[in-house]
Copies of this chain bind each other. A is one copy, B any other.
Amino acid sequence: MPEDEALTNEHRSRAAAWFAALRDRICAAFERLEIDYAGPDADTLTAGRFARTDWERPGGGGGTMTVMRGRVFEKVGVNISTVFGEFAPEFRKEIPGADQDPRFWASGISLVAHMRSPLVPAVHMNTRHVITSKAWFGGGGDLTPIYPDPEAAADFHAQMAQACGTYEPDAYERFKKWCDEYFFLPHRDEPRGAGGIFFDYVDSGDWERDFTFVRAVGEAFLRAYPPIVASRMDDEWTPEQRRHQLVRRGRYVEFNLLYDRGTRFGLRTGGNTEAILMSLPPEVAWP
């Protein structure tokens, strides 16, 4: 085995192992919140537990959906996947490094949480490692409060900024701007939520440094989000607030199906439909 191939294999297995380990830690933290819940109907509702479903990709690889429907997390999916194969000709020009060699390998974690309480922000986090004839990391995390929640937004951004700060001095500024531009609904002239960070094609030439950054984003998510949930989940809400939540969730659906690159690309390339659409909210209203 040539030295660079051995190195690439080591990168693959370390990245995939990290995504799986991060999944386990996030699921444990979320199940802890389910147990600690003491808000509305706590005595009649049971704490949720994650359930896993494996799937295989016909073209190569597969993944695991880990889903919980609980009393705090109305629906949360924490999916990991490691897939490989060859890009179809129509996608080779869209993907860096795929025009010369259509083979690819990709591994990642993707998380979307829709909360029962309209007072607890929804959240999204995703990081991935993609290898074609090039190799890079992508991902991000962003918060979607149902009602404006400057304190939650500030806490979330502070952790993401800290992760970025360990990487490059201007990384937070750049990745925050990219997030604001990406998670925008032009037909509503609205941002999707309170933003966060978004990055792609991260390849500084130093794989260890880039991988350290991606792990820092996962750690930042783990520091940021569970406390936001914990400090809001027990508060009472009204039917009107719940109704507003269902309507705001419509914007989430509109973004994901109209614009989200991952969703549209995944569905067009024969990805696992259930895993891709796990991001859609459990109940939605368009009044």
Task: Identify the A interface with B (CB < 8 A).
Answer: 75, 186-188, 246, 250, 253-254, 257-258, 264, 267, 273, 276-277, 280-287
CB distance B257 to A253 under 8 Å? Answer: yes
A-B contact pairs, 22 of them (CB 8 A): A75-B286, A186-B267, A187-B267, A187-B273, A187-B277, A188-B273, A246-B283, A253-B257, A253-B284, A254-B257, A257-B257, A257-B258, A258-B267, A277-B286, A280-B286, A282-B285, A282-B286, A282-B287, A283-B284, A283-B285, A284-B285, A284-B286
CB distance A250 to B286 under 8 Å? Answer: no
- Picked from B75, B264, B287, the residue with its CB within 8 Å of the CB of A258 is B264
Which partner residue on chain B sits nearest A285 by CB separation?
Answer: B283
- A276: chain B residues at CB < 8 Å are 187
Shortest Cβ-Cβ A-B pairs, 3 listed: A257-B257, A280-B286, A187-B267
- A253: chain B residues at CB < 8 Å are 253, 257, 284
- Picked from B188, B267, B280, B285, the residue with its CB within 8 Å of the CB of A250 is B280
CB distance B254 to A277 under 8 Å? Answer: yes
Rounded to whole Å, the gap between the CB of A276 and the closest CB of chain B is 8
- Picked from B254, B264, B281, B285, the residue with its CB within 8 Å of the CB of A286 is B281
Give the one of A246, A257, A283 with max B CB within 10 A: A257
- A187: chain B residues at CB < 8 Å are 267, 273, 276-277
Rounded to whole Å, the gap between the CB of A10 and the closest CB of chain B is 35
Which partner residue on chain B sits nearest A253 by CB separation?
Answer: B253
Which partner residue on chain B sits nearest A186 by CB separation?
Answer: B267
Which partner residue on chain B sits nearest A287 by CB separation?
Answer: B282
- A188: chain B residues at CB < 8 Å are 273
Rounded to whole Å, the gap between the CB of A240 and the closest CB of chain B is 16
Which partner residue on chain B sits nearest A188 by CB separation?
Answer: B273
Rounded to whole Å, the gap between the CB of A93 and the closest CB of chain B is 18
Which partner residue on chain B sits nearest A279 by CB separation?
Answer: B286
> Cα distance A283–B249 when bound, in Å?
11
- A280: chain B residues at CB < 8 Å are 250, 286
Rounded to whole Å, the gap between the CB of A52 and the closest CB of chain B is 17
- A264: chain B residues at CB < 8 Å are 258
If A257-B257, A258-B258, A258-B267 are given as contacts, then 13 extra A-B residue pairs at C-beta distance below 8 Å, sorted by A number, are A186-B267, A187-B267, A187-B276, A253-B284, A254-B257, A257-B258, A258-B264, A281-B286, A282-B285, A282-B287, A283-B283, A283-B284, A284-B284
